Amino acid sequence: MPLALLALAVGAFAIGTTEFVITGLLEEVARSFGVTDSVAGLAATAYALGVVAGAPALALLGTRTTRKQMLMWLMGVFIAGNLLTAVAPTFELLLAGRVIASLAHGAFFGIGAIVAADLVPPRRKAGAIATMFTGLTLATVVGVPAGTFIGQHFGWRTTFLAVAALGAFGATGIAALLPQDPRGHHSHGGIRRELAALRDTQVILAMAMTVLGFGGVFAAITYIAPIMTGAAGFSDGSMPWLLVLFGLGMVAGNLLGGRLADRAPMRMLSAALAGLGLTLALFTIAAHHKASAAAFLVLIGMFGFATVPPLQKRVLDHTTQAPTLASAVNIGAFNLGNALAAWLGGLALSSGLGTTSPSAVGAVLATTALGLALLAGSLQARRGQHPHDADHPHTPARGHHGLPQR
Q: What is the pLDDT of residue 181?
A: 65
| Residue 307 contacts residue 365 (beta carbons within 8 Å) | no
* pLDDT over threshold 90, residue 54: no
Q: What is the pLDDT of residue 173?
A: 94
Question: End of a domain among 161, 186, 211?
Answer: 186
Q: Are residues 67 and 213 in the same domain?
A: no
Q: Which residues contact 54 (CB under 8 A, 6 or more apart)?
A: 102, 103, 104, 105, 106, 107
Q: Are residues 165 and 210 in the same domain?
A: no
Residue 404 bridge partners (DSSP): 398
Q: What total of structural domains would you count in the chain?
A: 2
Question: End of a domain among 166, 186, 206?
Answer: 186
Q: What is the pLDDT of residue 1?
A: 66
Q: Are residues 149 and 203 in the same domain?
A: no
Q: Higher-confidence residue: 401 or 255?
A: 255
Q: What is the pLDDT of residue 124?
A: 86
CATH code of the domain covering residue 311: 1.20.1250.20
Q: What is the pLDDT of residues 188-238, one digit of tens each?
A: 346 777 777 778 889 999 999 999 998 899 888 878 878 888 899 888 778
Q: What is the pLDDT of residue 235?
A: 85
| Residue 128 contacts residue 242 (beta carbons within 8 Å) | no
* pLDDT over threshold 50, residue 390: no
**Over residues 235-260, mean pLDDT:** 87
Q: Are residues 192 and 182 in the same domain?
A: no
Cα–Cα dist 116/84, whole Å: 30
Q: What is the pLDDT of residues 74-128, one digit of tens each?
A: 999 999 999 999 999 999 999 999 999 999 998 899 889 889 988 888 888 888 8
Q: Are residues 171 and 274 in the same domain?
A: no
Q: Are residues 162 and 259 in the same domain?
A: no
Q: Higher-confidence residue: 289 or 53?
A: 289
| Residue 286 contacts residue 293 (beta carbons within 8 Å) | yes
Residue 404's SS3 state is: strand
User: Angle at Cα 139 formed by Cα 286 and Cα 26, nearest 5°?
Assistant: 80
Q: Are residues 175 and 281 in the same domain?
A: no
Q: What is the pLDDT of residue 402?
A: 42
Q: Which residues contact 110 (CB under 8 A, 6 or more apart)?
A: 55, 59, 324, 325, 326, 327, 328, 329, 330, 331
**Is the four-CA dihedral 264, 265, 266, 268 of positive or negative sign?**
positive
Cα–Cα dist 60/26, whole Å: 33
**Over residues 320-349, mean pLDDT:** 83
- DSSP H helices in 186-264: 190-197, 201-221, 224-226, 239-261
Q: Are residues 73 and 182 in the same domain?
A: yes
Question: End of a domain among 153, 171, 186?
Answer: 186
Range of the domain at 389: 188-406
**Over residues 21-49, mean pLDDT:** 83
Q: Are residues 192 and 178 in the same domain?
A: no
Q: Are residues 245 and 111 in the same domain?
A: no
Q: What is the pLDDT of residues 257-310, one digit of tens each?
A: 888 888 888 888 999 999 999 999 999 999 999 999 999 999 999 999 999 888
Q: Higher-confidence residue: 153 or 403?
A: 153
Q: What is the pLDDT of residue 384?
A: 59
Q: Which residues contact 320 (CB under 8 A, 6 or more apart)?
A: 395, 396, 404
* pLDDT over threshold 50, residue 252: yes
Cα–Cα dist 97/86, whole Å: 8
Q: Are residues 309 and 169 in the same domain?
A: no
Q: What is the pLDDT of residues 142-196, one digit of tens each?
A: 898 888 889 888 999 999 999 999 999 999 999 999 987 644 444 334 677 777 7
**Over residues 60-75, mean pLDDT:** 86
Please report which confidence band the pLDDT of residue 17 belongs to, taking 50, 70 and 90 as the band edges.
Answer: very high
Tell me which residue of 89, 90, 86 sits closest to 150, measured CA to CA. Answer: 86
Q: Are residues 105 and 192 in the same domain?
A: no
Q: What is the pLDDT of residue 301?
A: 93
